[in-house]
Structure 1
Amino acid sequence: MGKNGVHDLGLFAKIISINLIGTLQVLALAAEHIAKTEADENGQRGVVINAPGILLKPMLMTVSEEFRDGLATGVPFPKRLGDPSEYAQLALSIIANDYLNGDVIRLDGALRMAPC
């Protein structure tokens, strides 16, 4: 239950399909291709970067401006939602750093989602 009644099951299924099943499918296909590439001099074959989080990307743009503004007020610093260019900048840094491996980096302005 939410503030407006029972959650829309169709919307939930769509979000799960995109964010969970879609992510798994992309990772599986990418891993298959990466495994077939020739390793570089350090034994590396590629980089996997996942889960861009709460950024102003197409899925978040489908919700109301009021909802996006509500999310932004919960961001401790800076007081805004992230821009896709910030994600791209981080991705380039991750790719350039061979010694970074198997880690979680949060790019979210320290946003922690409150319960509904």
Structure 2
Amino acid sequence: MLLKDQAAIVTGGASGLGAATARKLASQGAKVAVFDLNAKLAAEVAAEINGVSVVCDVSDAAGAEAGVAEAVKALGQQPRVLVNCAGIGVAKRVVGRDGPMALADFEKVIKVNLIGSFNMLRLVTNGMTKLEPQATGERGVVINTASVAAYDGQIGQSAYSASKGGIVGMTLPIARELAQFGIRVLTIAPGLFLTPLLANLPQEAQDSLAAAIPFPRRLGHADEFAALALHMVENPYLNGEVVRLDGSLRMAPK
């Protein structure tokens, strides 16, 4: 996929992995729409990369549809790239001190992470199918964000692991379905990254987490995620794959 002068949407683009990805795509000449619920941060990232910001709840059908329409109008074209980074992680036990987990807590994580990713995918790829193919035959690329928790979830991650496992599970069938249009679908499953959430932990806690990573023995950097996303966009033979980006993380540090 040739990125120069092409439109892209990055959800969760106001911070962390999403912001790094928005910057990376823009550095290659893409016109990027930064989707996020945090209007202030989204506007700041968009201003930095000469893009546009869209306040959007990706899990809401009508809201996401309006957000995509807003982005198309502001960018002047249908996006050829969608990177889904929006997501939440709520750690709760199935049965805790106060009884069973509230069903609403489980539903919220599934709705934002899994349904939100699918919601954006269905809307943006609908527009992609109407684009003229590039010289490679491609019309578009979608990159979803899963997690190593899809394979190796821990106590308290039942909802999070289920949501990310769903993203992994839908990657290949959707890639096969959309292949007829020249649209590729891929997923990155990151491990422990130095996003704002982990960056606020004491250094001792960060070092403890890094001990679970054989090499390099540190937390991942957001620009490493962005670099992989860019490679996926640019490499036309990558399709239907889920790539773990975790330094061969093992969840039982030694």
Instruction: Please give the TM-score of this superposition, normalised by the length of structure 1.
Output: 0.71
1:85 to partner: Cα distance:
0.8
Distance 1:113 1:8 in 2: 24
Secondary structure at the aligned position of 2:219 is classed as coil
Map Cα deviations across residues 59-108 of structure 1 (whole Å, 9 max, x no partner). Answer: xx18x727x63543322222222221111111111222122222221111
User: Relative to structure 2, which stretch is displaced further, 2-11 or 16-25?
Assistant: 2-11
Q: Which has the higher contact order (CA 8 A, sep 6+)?
A: 1
Q: 1:71 to 1:23 in 2, by over 3 A?
A: farther
Secondary structure at the aligned position of 1:101 is classed as coil
Q: 1:85 to 1:40 in 2, by over 3 A?
A: same
1:2 to partner: Cα distance:
7.0
Distance 1:7 1:109 in 2: 35
Distance 1:3 1:57 in 2: 29
Is 2:90 the counterpart of 1:90? no
Is 2:142 the counterpart of 1:48? yes
Q: What residue is the counterpart of 2:213 in the other structure? A: 75
Distance 1:11 1:40 in 2: 43
Does the Cα contact within 8 Å between 2:94 and 2:101 map onto a contact in 1?
no
Secondary structure at the aligned position of 2:210 is classed as helix
Secondary structure at the aligned position of 2:141 is classed as coil
Is 2:175 the counterpart of 1:39? no
Which residue of 94, 101, 110 maps to 1:16? 110
Map Cα deviations across residues 6-39 of structure 1 (whole Å, 9 max, x no partner). Answer: 5743543332222111111121122112112111
Amino acid of the residue matched to residue 201 of structure 2?
E
Instruction: Please give the TM-score of this superposition, normalised by the length of structure 2.
Output: 0.37
Amino acid of the residue matched to residue 91 of structure 1?
A
Is 2:159 the counterpart of 1:65? no
Q: 1:7 to 1:90 in 2, by over 3 A?
A: farther
Does the Cα contact within 8 Å between 2:214 and 2:248 map onto a contact in 1?
yes
Sequence identity of aligned pairs in percent? Answer: 43
Q: What residue is the counterpart of 1:26 in the other structure? A: 120
Amino acid of the residue matched to residue 17 of structure 1?
K
Q: Which has the higher strand share?
A: 2
Distance 1:77 1:2 in 2: 33
How many residue pairs match? The answer is 111
Gaps of 5+ in 2: 1-92, 146-187
The CA RMSD measured in Å over matched residues stands at 3.2
